[in-house]
Amino acid sequence: MAGARKPAEPAGRVSTAKPSRVEAAAWLMFSAGGMVTALLVPVLMLLFGVLFPLGVLTPPDHAGFAALLSHQLVRILLLGLCVLALLHWAHRFRYTLFDGLQLDRTRTAINVLCYAAVLAGSVWAAVVLFA
Amino acid sequence: MPDTITLQVARYRPESESAPTLQEYEVPLREEWAVLDGLNYVKDHLDGTLSFRWSCRMGICGSCGMTVNGDPALTCGTFLTDYAPGPVRVEPLANFPVIRDLVVEIDDFLHKLPEVKPWLVRDDDGGVDDVEFLQTPEQLDAYKQYSMCINCMLCYSACPVYGIEPDFLGPAAIALAQRYNLAPATSAHQRLDVLATDAGVWACTYVGECTRACPKGVDPAGAIQRYKLTAAARTLLPWGKR
Mean pLDDT estimate for chain A? 86
Domain hosting A67: range is: 22-129
What is the predicted pLDDT for the residue at B6? 96
Cis upstream peptide for B184 (omega within 30°) = no
How do residues B110-169 score in pLDDT, each as one tens digit? Answer: 999 999 999 888 777 666 666 777 889 999 999 999 999 999 999 999 999 999 999 999
What is the predicted pLDDT for the residue at B222? 94
In CATH, B4-104 is 3.40.50.300: no
How do residues A80-98 score in pLDDT, each as one tens digit? Answer: 999 999 999 999 999 999 8
CA dihedral B113, B173, B62, B100 (to 10 degrees): -60
In a domain, A109, yes or no: yes
- ipTM passes above 0.90: no
In a domain, A10, yes or no: no
CB A13 within 8 A of CB B228: no
What is the predicted pLDDT for the residue at B126? 62
In a domain, A45, yes or no: yes
Residue B61 neighbours by CB under 8 Å, 6+ apart: B54, B55, B150
A2 touches chain B (CB under 8 A): yes
In a domain, A115, yes or no: yes
Q: Do B235 and A17 touch (CB under 8 A)?
A: no
Q: Report how many Cβ contacts below 8 Å link chain A to chain B.
A: 104
Residue B142 neighbours by CB under 8 Å, 6+ apart: B182
Neighboring chain A residues of B197 at a CB cutoff of 8 Å: 17-20
Neighboring chain A residues of B8 at a CB cutoff of 8 Å: none
B17 touches chain A (CB under 8 A): no
What is the predicted pLDDT for the residue at A103? 84
List where CATH 3.10.20.30 sits in chain B.
4-104
CB B73 within 8 A of CB B94: no
Q: Do B94 and A19 touch (CB under 8 A)?
A: no
In a domain, A35, yes or no: yes
Q: Which of B115, B104, B219, B217 is nearest to B153 (CA)?
A: B104
Q: Do B115 and A25 touch (CB under 8 A)?
A: no
Q: How far apart are the first and last CA of chain A?
A: 59
Q: pLDDT confidence of A101, banded at 50, 70, 90? A: confident
Average pLDDT rounded to a whole number, residues A50-74: 90
Asked whether the predicted pLDDT for residue A63 surpasses 70, the reply is yes
CATH code assigned at A104: 1.20.1300.10
- pLDDT beneath 70, residues of chain B: 125-130, 188, 240-242
Lowest-confidence segment of A53-62, A106-115, B231-240 by average pLDDT: B231-240
What is the predicted pLDDT for the residue at B152? 97
B115 touches chain A (CB under 8 A): yes
Strand bridging mode B4-11 / B88-91 = parallel
Lowest-confidence segment of A3-17, A19-33, A54-68, B51-65 by average pLDDT: A3-17
In a domain, A14, yes or no: no
Average pLDDT rounded to a whole number, residues A26-46: 94
- CATH number of B107-236, picked from 1.10.1060.10, 1.10.3720.10, 3.40.50.970, 3.40.50.2000: 1.10.1060.10
DSSP B192-216: HHHHSSTTTGGG-----HHHHH-TT
Q: Do B91 and A102 touch (CB under 8 A)?
A: no
| H helical segments located in chain B | 35-41, 107-112, 137-144, 154-158, 160-164, 171-181, 192-195, 209-213, 220-236
What is the predicted pLDDT for the residue at A8? 46
